[in-house]
Structure 1
């Protein structure tokens, strides 16, 4: 009985840039039995893919800044710094989305994608699923304003030293979940990535006694 639910009805409330459904349902209770009929509104969002490009040679990451309508009532402002991200088309491979969005939003070529997390950011009211990666890149030509004109994107790509970006997590600089999760993962895995992704860079640090972490 546990974890069983029944969909009694599902009706669209709105469909525009986003889709909102009204769902009638009931579900099993932990102590037995079923709930009465419940009505819940649910934002139908789909699969979002995020990626944190990391240059192990320069020890830098790429983050993007753009206007977000969900932050218009936040007194800290409506421009959010976050990871590169985009919505997958039906059946599209998440890695392909990450590669495409890195080019569109930051003009960065990425490779060797490493999975960070696969999670539901707001399951209380949205179907959105997020797949998040870290990927190797070269930041030497990164930075500047990018985005697709036909989608009216105005995206500022920032190249940030990894130490600084990780430190900004502790300072509460990031308001979106993706960069917080991605940078915390990088803090835990940075040493290993530099060992695997650089040729001789890590051995030079060890020889000199420096620790880039």
Structure 2
């Protein structure tokens, strides 16, 4: 078999045990970490790859919350400056969902509830897990857990965030249709928000029925 030959998915049974870490070095240790790996792994055609060098960006793991008001059918989003968008987005102030990093001792749901208060001033009621995904597995270890949470959007708005984290966050409240139009028009270009809003487009009726019925 050559590298160009296809392999049936049922024949692919590699696991983490099919990777050999030869060495690990800490290349940078600041707000984030950068680790340098020497490694090799098994090949689909058989045998092992040669030893290669790979750098891995270590920033921890994050939680994203889609704040949704089932009564008013509204979505709350936050706007803040993002350095990573400076060169490739038309505007580095991005419309996003609530998000934060998992701290020691916290569950993902703990983070969703904490960040909703810190970033948007919203208390979350019921929550439902949407998905967990790797945003850029080629060079970053971060895994994101995405949730939807029931909120009351009637008083949503204002400026929020923690001063010591240099957060300056503006809260926006949109109808579901408005939020999906922003997505359709390319005004929302970060992965977690795209995934969350697409999920809402497919599941809004089910989640509304569930949450409204459970609240009498």
Same-fold call, TM cutoff 0.5: yes
Contact residue 2 and residue 29 of structure 1 kept, 8 A: no
Q: Does residue 141 of structure 1 match 2:155?
A: yes
Q: Distance in 1 between matches of 2:188 and 2:29?
A: 30
Specify the alignment match of 1:211 in structure 2: none
1:189 corresponds to 2:207: no
The secondary structure found in structure 1 opposite 2:28 is: strand
Tell whether 2:31 aligns with 1:36. no
Whole-Å separation in 1 of the counterparts to 2:45 and 2:206: 46
CA distance in structure 2 between the aligned counterparts of 1:190 and 1:153, rounded to whole angstroms: 30
- 1:94–1:52: structure 2 CA closer, same or farther, 3 Å change rule? same
Residue 91 (structure 1) shift = 3.9
Q: Of 95, 99, 104, which residue of structure 2 is paired with 1:90? A: 104
- Contact 1:50 1:85 survives alignment (8 Å): yes
Q: Secondary structure at the match of 2:125?
A: strand
**Counterparts in 2 of 1:81-160, with a 5 A limit?**
81-160=95-174
Deviation at 1:112, TM superposition (A): 1.1
User: Structure 1: how far apart are the matches of 2:89 and 2:146?
Assistant: 28
Runs of 4+ deviating beyond 2 Å: none
Q: What corresponds to 2:14 in structure 1?
A: 2
Q: Deviation of residue 72 (structure 1)? A: 1.5
CA displacement, residues 67-109 of structure 1 (integer Å, 9 cap, x when unaligned): 1111121250211111100000134200000000000000001
After alignment, is 17-26 or 97-106 more displaced?
17-26
Q: Aligned pairs, how many?
A: 200
Partner residue in 2 for 1:20: 34
> Does the CA contact (< 8 Å) of 2:126 and 2:211 recur in 1?
no
1:45 alignment counterpart:
59
TM-score by length of 2: 0.89
Considering only aligned residues, what root-mean-square deviation do their CA atoms show, in Å? 1.4
Check whether the contact 1:2–1:32 (CA below 8 A) recurs between aligned residues: no
The answer on 1:55 being equivalent to 2:69 is yes
Paired position in structure 1 for 2:189: 175
Partner Cα separation in structure 1 for residue 135 and residue 89 of structure 2: 22
- Is the deviation greater in 162-171 or in 134-143? 162-171
Distance 1:2 1:156 in 2: 45
**Which region of structure 1 is more displaced relative to structure 2, 35-44 or 86-95?**
86-95
